[in-house]
């Protein structure tokens, strides 16, 4: 007969259920600051030539093309993930935080991703309408969508480089992977999964300030949904990656179709 103490030692439990060694607040702040700083610096590099040229021309705001803006997102995310990987590798937690192993049931994972996609779109649509009804401006992503729809070639760049790789894959590795792994082990948050979900959702919404207050609120709500799905999948990230990429691809495609006049009446 198995010894119960051995049978339930937690070795076969998924990463989100294991007893996790705590992360101190100082270390967390250093890690978070390094991630933010890396993204800011790396995302600025593609725009640097335009900035320098504008300074030589007498100042003013530099005119950034669609490809340059896309490059700021892609390069910024790539550099950020490298820093995250270095922190996780230092602790031997890359596979735990970035669980990209094959799901036990791909059909269930894809179905969950599809439901999450529809849920996220419903939040964007319904949430935007609700905010307007309450007097808060709805999310405005026109700043980005104008770049996406400049040409067929740039549309493809944004779909593959930004929607699928930087946002779908990159943001989920960052937010639902690296960040949630940190928060689950942070003093005061360990064992309080709903608090972890709320904190990561708030942090996820803040960088979308370019969409206005409404954009931060609605995006935060979507982040809450994605975090919940990540928990349902016991840390496996495939469902949220597929859902996030799908939402961005759908939104960009609809914007491009609208520019082509496909929805004209």
Q: Could you report the per-residue pLDDT of 120-176, keeping only the tens digit for each?
A: 999 999 988 888 888 878 777 777 888 999 999 999 999 999 999 999 999 999 999
Token pair of 8 as six digits: 């339930």
CA 89 from centre of chain: 21
Grouping H, G, I as helix, E, B as strand and the rest as coil, residue 48 is helix
Confidence (pTM): 0.88
Counting beta carbons within 10 angstroms of the beta carbon of residue 82, is it exposed (0 to 12), middle (13 to 18) or buried (19 or more)? exposed
End-to-end CA distance of the chain: 73
Contacts 24+ apart (CB under 8 A), 42-48: 42/75, 42/76, 42/78, 42/79, 42/80, 43/72, 43/73, 43/75, 43/76, 44/72, 45/72, 45/75, 46/71, 46/72, 46/75, 47/72
Q: What is the rounded average pLDDT of the residues 170-193?
A: 96
Domain boundaries, the chain: 21-259
pLDDT over threshold 70, residue 11: no
Nearest to 163 by CA among 248, 221, 226: 248
For the chain, give the mean pLDDT.
Answer: 89
Each residue's pLDDT tens digit, 75-100: 999 999 999 999 999 999 999 999 99
> How much is the average pLDDT of 169-196?
96
254 burial (CB, 10 Å; 0-12 / 13-18 / 19+) is middle
Q: DSSP class of residue 184?
A: T
Position 17 scores a pLDDT of 43
Residue 7 has pLDDT above 50, yes or no: no
Mean pLDDT of the 187-206 span:
95
Instruction: Give residues with Cβ within 8 angstroms of 21, minimum separation 6.
Output: 185
Q: Are 183 and 196 in contact (CB under 8 A)?
A: yes
The percent of residues above 90 in pLDDT, for the chain, comes to 70
Which pLDDT does position 265 carry in this prediction?
58
Long-range Cβ contact pairs of 196-200 (< 8 A, separation 24 or more): 196/227, 197/224, 197/227, 197/228, 197/231, 198/224, 200/175, 200/176, 200/227
pLDDT at position 224 is 98
- d(C-alpha 157, C-alpha 63), whole Å: 19
pLDDT at 82: 99
Q: Tokens 């590798």 sit at which residue?
A: 89
pLDDT at 229: 98
For residues 223, 227, 229 and 233, what is the CA-based torsion angle, rounded to 10 degrees? Answer: 150
Distance CA 163, CA 81 (A): 16
């Amino acid at each position: 007969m198995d010894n119960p103490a051995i049978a339930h030692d937690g070795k076969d439990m998924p990463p989100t259920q294991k007893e996790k060694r705590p992360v101190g607040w100082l270390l967390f702040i250093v890690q978070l600051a390094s991630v933010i700083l890396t993204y800011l610096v790396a995302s600025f590099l593609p725009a640097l030539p335009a900035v320098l040229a504008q300074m030589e021309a007498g100042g003013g705001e530099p005119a950034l093309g669609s490809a340059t803006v896309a490059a700021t997102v892609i390069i910024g995310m790539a550099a950020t993930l490298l820093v995250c990987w270095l922190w996780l590798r230092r602790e031997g937690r890359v596979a735990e935080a970035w669980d990209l192993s094959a799901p036990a049931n791909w059909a269930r994972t894809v179905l969950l991703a599809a439901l999450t996609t529809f849920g996220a779109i419903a939040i964007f649509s319904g949430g935007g309408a609700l905010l307007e009804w309450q007097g808060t401006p709805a999310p405005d992503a026109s700043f980005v969508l104008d770049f996406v729809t400049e040409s067929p070639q740039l549309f493809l760049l944004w779909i593959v480089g930004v929607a699928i790789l930087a946002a779908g894959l990159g943001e989920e590795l960052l937010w639902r992977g690296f960040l949630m792994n940190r928060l689950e082990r942070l003093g005061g948050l360990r064992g309080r999964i709903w608090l972890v979900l709320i904190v990561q959702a708030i942090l996820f919404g803040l960088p979308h300030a370019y969409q206005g207050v409404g954009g931060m609120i609605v995006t935060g709500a979507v982040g809450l949904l994605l975090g919940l799905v990540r928990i349902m999948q016991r840390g496996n990230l495939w469902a949220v990656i597929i859902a996030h990429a799908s939402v961005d691809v759908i939104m960009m495609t609809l914007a491009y179709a609208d520019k082509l006049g496909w929805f004209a009446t």
